Chains A and B, each alone.
Chain A
């Protein structure tokens, strides 16, 4: 048997594919074969390693050396110099390294390490191979659930872990499951909300691309816990690679008897289907998602009844976000106490953030709950780009809140941020420097909402329209006295009377922009003469 001395991991995600990862992969393999090294060096595909905007990224193990912006022409040099002669190709070494590490608590001296629970396997294992997931401890949790915990035990473990929904609303996950477990009606459904539509957010995509089996196991555990038998992954239609990998993973799981009837002789039956969304933001709202899944126009439903009692086709249904479900296998495998070792008391665990905007290394990170915005920006994301200064950030997506410099040291978690009238939301962090125009930002957010309003209720349908009328005026320097107050008033009425969270949340970016950047916004409305 050949002993492989080097593993070359090539990150295959939507971004790197566009940058030509497949071509680089082929060039590397060809070159390795040409040099007669195919027995010693293995080239493996993996998911995103967490860095974006750095072209094709490869990692050479055991050194753990990252190369960025690799082109097919570089293959010869990498093979000849590094893999054959042991001399790293300096010009390609990634300068801003993504900081990742396996689950480890200690941060002292290792601030750059991330506490990875959700992204544990991402960028390390081959997402298209179920064996690699199993080798990394995958599907151990479901076995523990079947043999030791039983459904009640799974709910108990998840309840004690303090896991709350990562899609934005932060509802206690175990409570949802309990409601569904008690609700009469069969069959019961689990839906994974993978319709990631919050602007600037792509964490779910990278989880799906990097570790699809983790989601499958999470959904199995959830369904096992509340008595579900059929699962749907409602996924953004644009996520072609995620869909492909999920379908492959589901097929492999079926072949291994992990999905289907009488799974692992447990008597538990469960299967999954992937359903593609058509790109409406409102379909991220769980009842609109269910309508869409039923083949109807994506309009939110009246609540109550909540999906846990009357969801898909009127049956008890749990809708959980990708990240939420991806936490579950690790919780069940290691136990609630272990999970509570991460994050804060009130809000345990980690959060996956997508950092975009004017930072040195935009991308995806996983950090413990309670990490400050300052740490996230300056430590994990390399600080502000090109010697500029931090002006503010839009945190939580378009439906999130603007934060000013005075918020840099606030601990970020679902509960703490609420006290500052902000939200963690989807975990998108859009960083602005002094060049960013706040009215511009607000204008873009309001246009987004006007475009995505489904049109069902008056406040959202016509409120978004009038808000756009006003902000467009202000942006052109033609704002009228009273326009800003009118904008606030409309957004407050929207918050109080919109039918679903889409319209309700628009007050947040407006009120927060005025909280931190009042002078700048008012300065754009000509003084009354």
Chain B
């Protein structure tokens, strides 16, 4: 333990603790900008500088470990003047059109300028306006807002290992951009949106579909159905000032109904359906012994990552579509038929914690119903904005159920939103499908939690199934590389079933969730999903009566020919240069 003082307050911290965290312990918040709790400090902004008695110059609190006997001062006149000068410099190069910025009121730079007290700006040489990158269907990049804090680079290159973003040019001309300045849509970007939720300012945001959805809602000829992903219900409360991780499933359904959706359905129904399809696929692969391990396919960011960097693993991928797309295929077929609605008139909207879902719904093969299966994807943030615009406060909503016949769900579906949830849900049903008996203890603890790669061995009446779970593409890369090596060496892997989610923490940490995401928040949202699971009467996907009904009335049985046509898909090889589909 190291003893030191921060502004004369004595503290004792473990060796290696940086001054930033030590100061928090002493009750002082040192202002920061580029620093993010989940990312290693890059030291770009210099805002967190402090004085340390006896040492020359100023030190960055984010990257300076507390030394024995340090006497740290966090707001001396010199420190405060320096911080102001630095913020002024940042603003001297920043497009300060805050009122029309997507991050207005949620901007860390705006907050910082207010914290350090910037009243006047007297600088020349503002950069000429640069074009906004609209090339991606999911994410917009505005270089004029970028402050080069480096968080997006860190998360894209080192956490996700996608390497879509890079630094171009240098000095005051430095820009964060893509290879050849080709734009995100022409890059290896997997649309995961981790750059978006880590961006402190308005340089990265989702490509919004709110206008299109409003238009559909206001069109009397359209029948607008909406589905909501599991992770949305544990985040939406935050948009309205509720504590992080508040579970608002019922309030969410009520609010959507009040906005004007014609049918409020639930992606969770489709999650249960996914388990039936994927679980059946698992059993058939286990039986045949072919193409093991089976790898999950719910996460569209992961899918594009796999298509780009691991396309030799395509035979191992589950062909089951993601719940969003299964839902979409059924909405314009089964639902339309059962409800007697012309599918032509159905507008299918999904609310997702995810930016990659915007890309997924536009993939050309996602039209099994004969129409675009899902028309518009809104992120959790976008639906929050729409609710505010409509004057709806989620806190004030009653709890309401989703509408039949695509609205019922079990606990197994709701935990899809947390890393390990799909694995756990699949095991719950696979056990029953194989043995004909129900699993006594449905909670499979080793696959829960935020460890990067989790492993477990499941005993299905004597058959040992080794499973692994990876969240974030960096961990997926490590796990898949290991599997590749094993397959190359022995022709088989130690694992039979692998779950991958592109985002750290799973969908609760998706790129469409609230601004300022961090692992602590992701963890709390995940816990809420497990709490909902515990509270539900049914916790196994195969128990879902609406799922049973869809097989009876429409799909016959899991992995049937019809199910394959509507609920399964195929994958492409993509270029690691521009992310485009490769021939053959």
A contacts, CB < 8 Å to B: 280, 297, 299, 302, 450-459, 461-466, 468-469, 473, 489-490, 493, 495-499
Contacts and interface: CB of A to CB of B under 8 A. Distances in A.
A464 to B, nearest CB: 6
**Residue from A297, A451, A465 with most neighbouring chain B CB atoms (10 Å):** A465
A473 B169 CA distance: 25
Given A302-B41, A457-B45, A466 B170 contact: no
Which residue of A458, A468, A473 has the most chain B CB atoms within 10 A of its CB atom? A458
B174 A461 contact: yes
A455 B78 CA distance: 24
A243 B89 CA distance: 41
A152 to B, nearest CB: 31
A458 B86 contact: yes
Closest 5 CB pairs of A and B: A455-B174, A465-B172, A497-B46, A453-B171, A462-B89
B92 A462 contact: yes
B93 interface: yes
Nearest to A280: B170
B35 to A, nearest CB: 13
Nearest to B174: A455
A496 B174 CA distance: 22
Contacts of A459: 46, 86, 89
Nearest to A463: B89
A451 B85 contact: no
Nearest to B51: A496
B49 A497 contact: yes
A466 B58 CA distance: 21
Nearest to A449: B171
B172 A462 contact: yes
Contact of B125 (A297, A452, A465, A498): A465
Given A459-B46, A462-B92, A497-B58, A452 B82 contact: no
B291 to A, nearest CB: 37
A494 to B, nearest CB: 9
B537 interface: no
Contact of A454 (B89, B166, B170): B170
Nearest to B34: A458
B90 interface: yes
Given A463-B89, A466-B92, A453 B170 contact: yes
Given A465-B125, A466-B92, A496-B49, A457 B171 contact: no
Contacts of B90: 458, 462
B89 A458 contact: yes
A466 B171 contact: no
B444 interface: no
Contact of A461 (B41, B57, B148): B148
A466 to B, nearest CB: 6
Interface in B61-95: 63, 78, 82, 85-86, 89-90, 92-93
A496 B89 contact: no
Nearest to A460: B171
A465 B82 CA distance: 17
B82 A469 contact: no
A454 B172 CA distance: 8
Given A457-B45, A462-B172, A497-B60, 13 more contacts: A302-B43, A302-B63, A450-B172, A453-B172, A458-B147, A461-B171, A461-B172, A461-B174, A462-B92, A465-B93, A465-B171, A466-B123, A496-B78
Nearest to A299: B167
B45 A462 contact: no
B124 interface: yes
A497 B64 CA distance: 13
30 contacts: A280-B170, A302-B63, A451-B171, A452-B170, A453-B170, A453-B171, A454-B171, A455-B170, A455-B171, A455-B172, A455-B173, A456-B44, A456-B150, A458-B89, A461-B174, A462-B90, A463-B89, A464-B172, A465-B93, A465-B171, A469-B124, A490-B85, A493-B85, A495-B57, A496-B49, A496-B58, A497-B46, A497-B49, A499-B44, A499-B46
A299 B157 CA distance: 16
A489 B169 CA distance: 27
Contacts of A466: 89, 92, 123, 125
Contacts of B166: 297
A496 B85 CA distance: 12
A126 B36 CA distance: 57
B142 to A, nearest CB: 18
Interface in B508-555: none
B172 A457 contact: no
A458 B171 contact: no
Contacts of A499: 43-44, 46
A457 B149 CA distance: 8
